[in-house]
Structure formats: C-alpha cells, structure tokens
Structure 1
Amino acid sequence: MSECIFCKIAKGEIPATILYKDDKVVAFKDINPEAPNHLLVIPKKHIQSIAHASVEDTEEIIPQIFKTIQQLAEELGLKEKGFRIVNNCGNQGGQTVDHLHFHLLGGRQMTWPPG
C-alpha cells in the first residue's frame, strides 16, 4: 500500500521513534500518546485489520507481534505493574489507520470501560 502511513514508517520513509524492528514487526512510539508508555506494534506486511489476516498471518506474524509486546513490556518495566494491549478493528471498532496495529499502553492506571 503505497499511501499507507504505517507501511511508510515500516519502510523508513516517514520518521518515527522505533523501539523494535525485525523482519516481520516494527514497534514505535505513538505520536499522540494516551499513557506514559504508548507504542504501536505493527506487521511490516500490509494487513488491513485482524479481520483481513490470513491463516499464514495468524500463524507467523501475529505470534511475533505478541512476542514483541512481551519483550517491550519487560524492557519498559511494565510487566509487574500491568499494561493494556488494544486492537481496534474496522470503523465501528475505532480503527483510524487501515493497517493492523496493536497499542501497548502502560505507566498509569487503566480504567474500564475504555470508551
């Protein structure tokens, strides 16, 4: 997707504060943080949403995303205190960028319901 902002970040075409990058996944700081620690963890491959993920994606890429989230939570000192993982899917689910992404939020008390 040549116009996808997250694809451009993954390719290094748009600057971002990258905290993790491998052959399948990129994690970077959200530019409008909702918590002291607010990262976005995305696949390098363009997948519109979790509803559009293939079997291969759910077997290979999604597990790598969650391993990355675990690693980053540990590195940021969130493992013991707690954190939230959010994935918005589709317009009514609150997805604003049509590229699969997971929010990792931590560093403050989370409330429920989220909104």
Structure 2
Amino acid sequence: MPIDAKQPYDDSNIFARILRGELPSKTVLETDHSLAFHDINPLAPIHILVIPKGAYVSWDDFSARASDAEIADFTRAVGDVARQVGADAQGYRLLSNVGKRGGQEVPHLHVHIFGGQPLGPMLAR
C-alpha cells in the first residue's frame, strides 16, 4: 500500500529493522552511510536495493536534510553496486518511488537497481 512520503519517519519500517540487524539481508555493499542488499522478491535477474543508513523517508527528505557526506556516499554506492553486480555491462534501470502516486511502499528512501534482462518501457499504460 503506497505511503505518504510527507509523514515523519517510521522507525518500525522493514529497512530500519534491517539496518538494526533485526531482519536478515544478503548484503552487496556496506559503507559508512549506505547499505545495498538483494531484494527478497526480485523482479529482474539483478534487483538490488540501496538505502541510506540515516532516517530519511524519501528523496525530498534526503536532499533537504542529509549531510554532503551522506549524499556523496549514497550516490557513489548506487554506482559502485551497479558495477559490482555487472549491471553496467548491458545497461540497467534505477528506480525510486516517492509518495502515494509514485507507488512508494516503504517509508525509507531506497533505490532499486534492475538489470540482467531487457526492462521494457519506463511506464506501463
């Protein structure tokens, strides 16, 4: 169910629980400010999630409140992961849903990295 990205951060969300070690994840990369792991329900042969370690609901929240170090680390982590898993070989898609109309389901900023197959059109009609 899509969430309202303007609401305060909910520290009981699944990604907050992964960051606290309460739920397992298959880590691809961990940095000072970011964590990347395999999606548990992959939609493509390559489907990795990259999240900041800070309590940010969305891109709007992150770009307004994160430090320069967090922003740089997160941006680099996305590119590093794409290269590490070989998504860069034939191309990949980055997706970050924001808010109800964007289809955001977890109230923690995250970027999906999809690859390993042709991904089709950007939006279904």
Both proteins in one fold, TM over 0.5: yes
Indicate whether 1:17 and 2:26 are aligned.
Answer: yes
Q: Can you list the C-alpha shifts for 1:35-75, whole angstroms capped at 9, x where unaligned?
A: 10101100111101112225452633233222112111112
1:1-115 correspondence runs (5 A): 1-57=10-66, 59-115=68-124
Kindly indicate whether the alpha-carbon contact (under 8 Å) linking 2:57 and 2:108 is maintained by their aligned counterparts in 1: yes
Q: Give the C-alpha shift of residue 23 in structure 1.
A: 1.7
Kindly indicate whether the alpha-carbon contact (under 8 Å) linking 2:95 and 2:112 is maintained by their aligned counterparts in 1: yes
Q: Which of 51-60 and 62-71 deviates more? A: 51-60
Instruction: Measure, in 2, the Cα distance between the counterparts of 1:58 and 1:32.
Output: 31
Amino acid of the structure 2 residue aligned with 1:30: D
Report runs of 4+ in structure 1 exceeding 4 Å deviation: none
Q: Which structure has more RCO (C-alpha within 8 Å, separation ≥ 6)?
A: 2
Q: Which of 13-22 and 58-67 deviates more? A: 58-67
Amino acid of the structure 2 residue aligned with 1:17: K
Instruction: Measure, in 2, the Cα distance between the counterparts of 1:2 and 1:68.
Output: 22
Q: Can you list the C-alpha shifts for 1:8-46, whole angstroms capped at 9, x where unaligned?
A: 111211111111112210001111111101011001111
Q: Secondary structure at 1:79's aligned position in 2? A: helix
Q: Secondary structure at 1:111's aligned position in 2? A: coil
Paired residue total? 115
Gaps of 5+ in 2: 1-9
Identity across the alignment (%):
35
Instruction: Measure, in 2, the Cα distance between the counterparts of 1:43 and 1:67.
Output: 11
